[in-house]
Amino acid sequence: MKEKRNLKNLIVILGPTASGKTGIAVKLAKVFNGEIISADSRQIYKEMDIGTNKTKPTTIPYHLVDIIKPNQIFTVGQYKKRAVKIIKDIQKRDKIPFLVGGTGLYISAIVDNLKIPKVKPNKKLRKKIEEEIKKQGLKKVYQRLLKLDPQAKNFVEAKNPRRIIRALEVCLITKKPFSQLRKKGQPLFNVLQIGIKVPKQTLYKKINRRIDKMIKKGLVKEVKKLAKKYSWQLPAMSGIGYKQIGLYLKEEIDLDQAIELIKRDSRRYSRKQLSWFKRHPAPEQIRSETSKRIKWIKNYSQAKKLIKVSLLKV
């Protein structure tokens, strides 16, 4: 984390769902006089608390949680703009910003300074794409995207309607592949990326326990309340937990089946997250000044030691 071009420090704490990254980050932020910026694409939504496992601490500032309603549009470009502004404000106050979460694209937008195309959301076009998904299925619409932009498979998940809609929207408006419009810029910060490593079976057990706790806390009630206010077709309602409980509420499956589906899909999501993070480090020849190497650790003590050593080098 040696300083270059007078870049200020940014600590990234990342990892798969249920790995314990938020708990570790909160402890670290207390020790190193820090503030947390969420890098979670689900916790941005208001009213969606139990299913997104919000554990917003009260002891330290925690940014970019509960910022939009489930029926509002929020792009990666908007996230980057707000996150960078908050990070710089924290640094101006001589505190350490901690970017914490498991949404790889959000993290990459900051760490790689992605030049995201400035294409305003087109409500009419989005509605048309949403109708296509409803009639043809998400898989066919995803294939349509890949025909326009084969490289989209590297950063747009096949089962993520929100990302698919946005990428297709940009392709159709600009008449160019979305991937060609996303370029890496010069690093904005002096970054140390720390990944939380948990053995697979241990992680799966933690995921299962978390889901059981969500059910006890009232996930069904939360989804039922949201369903009365918002459409099932909204991208926000397609998130893990909400989609499966939705199937239960629509009497397509029973509750036990819904719970098992949430656990299964959460395990699958954790594997996808790890696959994303394992794409780093990038090949040596294309690394930017900000190191892409993720330092994988097992616990808080190892993370604390890494940060101490890194800060001393500056």
For residue range 195-248, what is the model confidence (pLDDT) as tens digits? Answer: 999 999 999 999 999 999 999 999 999 999 999 999 998 989 999 999 999 999
108 and 133, same domain (yes or no): no
149 and 197, same domain (yes or no): no
Residue 27 to residue 312: CA distance in whole angstroms: 19
DSSP 3-state assignment of 105? helix
For residue range 246-284, what is the model confidence (pLDDT) as tens digits? Answer: 999 999 999 999 999 999 999 999 999 999 898 754 433
302 and 163, same domain (yes or no): no
164 and 214, same domain (yes or no): no
Tokens of 144: 């349509």
Query: Residue 99: beta bridge partners?
Result: 12, 37
DSSP 3-state assignment of 184? strand
Q: What is the mean pLDDT of the chain?
A: 90
Query: Residue 10: beta bridge partners?
Result: 191
Task: State the CATH number of the domain containing residue 223.
Answer: 3.40.50.300
227 and 155, same domain (yes or no): no
Is 1 inside any structural domain? no
Domain span holding position 133: 123-181
Show Cβ contacts of residue 126 under 8 Å, excluding neighbours closer than 6 positions. 73, 165, 169
**CA-to-CA separations, 192 to 3, 47, 228, 303, in angstroms, rounded:** 11, 32, 43, 11
Note the pLDDT of residue 1: 53
Count: domains in the chain: 2
166 and 194, same domain (yes or no): no
Note the pLDDT of residue 132: 92
187 and 212, same domain (yes or no): yes
Q: Assess whether the previous peptide bond of 281 is cis (omega < 30° from 0).
A: yes
Residues in the chain: 314
Is 30 inside any structural domain? yes
46 and 173, same domain (yes or no): no
For residue range 134-171, what is the model confidence (pLDDT) as tens digits? Answer: 899 999 999 999 999 998 887 788 888 888 998 999 99
209 and 247, same domain (yes or no): yes
pTM: 0.86
Residue 164 to residue 166: CA distance in whole angstroms: 5
Note the pLDDT of residue 311: 81
Task: State the CATH number of the domain containing residue 158.
Answer: 1.10.20.140
247 and 305, same domain (yes or no): yes
